[in-house]
Amino acid sequence: MLPTLLSGRARDIPLIWAEPRAEGQRKLVIWLPGFSGDKEALIPQLQELADQGYVALSYDPYQHGQRRIETNDELRVRIHGNIRRYFWPILGRTATDASTVIDQ
């Protein structure tokens, strides 16, 4: 039986997570998708981590998944057109989102 998958939000950040079935100390693992990916693609990994006793959580990086502002093809073209201007801010915002997610 697979661990239960839950969803919610931390402010404007959509989340999914799987909780371990066993009682005891709960350790958090945040598992993020790669460029142009979304949190739903990581469901198998989240469930596997939960099977190993972790609270396994993922969220959509800035401008990805439910936070998308354009199609994946448009995102790739925009980013490859100017990595410094468009990709670095996505990484920076996604990284600072982690503290919001943890604090919620």
Considering the entire predicted model, what is its pTM?
A: 0.88
- In angstroms, what is the C-alpha Rg of the chain? 15
- Range of 62's domain? 5-103
Q: What's the confidence (pLDDT) of residue 45?
A: 96
Number of domains in the chain: 1
Q: What's the confidence (pLDDT) of residue 26?
A: 83
Q: What's the confidence (pLDDT) of residue 2?
A: 76
Q: What's the confidence (pLDDT) of residue 88?
A: 95
Element spanning 88, H or E: helix 83-103
Tens-place pLDDT, residues 24-69: 778 999 999 998 899 999 999 999 999 999 999 999 999 999 999 9
